[in-house]
Homo-oligomer: A and B are copies of this chain.
Amino acid sequence: MCELLGMSANVPTDLRFSFAGLMRRAGTTARHSDGWGVAFHDGRDCQIFREKRAGAQSALAAALCDHPIRSPIAVAHIRRANRGAVSTANTHPFQRELWGRWWVFAHNGQLAGIKRWPLGQDRPVGTTDSEHAFCWLIGELRRSFGRAPGEAALCRAIARLCRRLDTLGTCNALLSDGRRLYAYCSSKLAVLTRRAPFGRACLIDADLRVDFAAETTPEDVVRIIATRPLTADEAWQPIERRSLAVYRDGELVFHDRAPRARRVSAAADPSHAAAAAAFARAG
């Protein structure tokens, strides 16, 4: 099991508060100790920090908590290895250039048989299911579109591809291209919106509080997505299972939900009900 953290905002935003909470789960309050990584987008470019060690014990992760990097889109991941060795090459987020932009991908879950899915020229550097899935997805986008399509066509294509991945197991995933944050929820992702009037929040995993009113302007909108809620006193909402939610500038711009028949059967599945109850307790 791994954990994900994503952010989409309408202004370059400091991720340190949420990131500090996630890093506590990387070896202190939880055992996601096999690697951590975070990507900060900067226009078409992005900057990625990754290490094959526990984030909670990392000097680099601590330095990132000391020195803010402000970005409108960020994706972070902490790893507890199940498939693939503990190595930098197997540490999320992964990145590939597509249409002159860096795309970033982080994933939680297992995708049985994904390595039999054929790839284009984008090839995995490490040995995880997740990177293979990302290379496949990027290859399919390249094959479908000669250049970047419009937002609606792109979101529909990504929803279709995520849904295909989801048939192989569990695909909780964050994908970003510097403009949009794509969050596919297979079983467990939560979302939180921060906008005026801003309040206070405290982390679940550390004795750290922040007063967002002092850190923001009334126009700021920040959307945070995480595997489990990171704060104890904010209104986290589960993202609907088997749906793709796409955020741009902190706002939801696309939401592709599973067909109704599948949604009903998902609700009726007792393992899902148990997971939903666990989710509610975690929040």
24 pairs from A and B in contact (CB 8 Å cutoff): A42-B87, A42-B88, A42-B89, A43-B87, A43-B88, A43-B89, A44-B125, A44-B126, A45-B88, A45-B89, A45-B126, A47-B50, A47-B88, A49-B49, A59-B67, A60-B67, A63-B63, A96-B97, A97-B122, A97-B123, A100-B125, A102-B125, A121-B121, A121-B142
- CA A121 to CA B143, docked complex, whole Å: 11
Q: Tell me whether A124 is interfacial, beta carbon within 8 Å.
A: yes
Q: Which residues of A in the span 14-56 have a Cβ within 8 Å of any Cβ on B?
A: 42-45, 47-50
Q: Give the oligomeric copy count.
A: 2
**Set B50, B89, B97: member contacting A125, Cβ < 8 A:** B97
- Chain A contact residues, majority secondary structure: mixed
Residues of A within 8 A of B (CB): 42-45, 47-50, 59-60, 63, 67, 87-89, 96-97, 99-102, 121-126, 142
In the complex, are the beta carbons of A100 and B87 less than 8 A apart? no
Residues of B within 8 A of A99 (CB): 123
Residues of B within 8 A of A49 (CB): 49
Give chain B nearest CB distance to A47 CB in angstroms: 6
- CA A115 to CA B265, docked complex, whole Å: 54
**Set B45, B47, B50, B124: member contacting A100, Cβ < 8 A:** B124
Most buried by B among A50, A101, A122, A123: A123
Residues of B within 8 A of A44 (CB): 89, 125-126
Given contacts A47-B50, A50-B47, A67-B60, is CB(A100)–CB(B123) below 8 Å?
A: yes
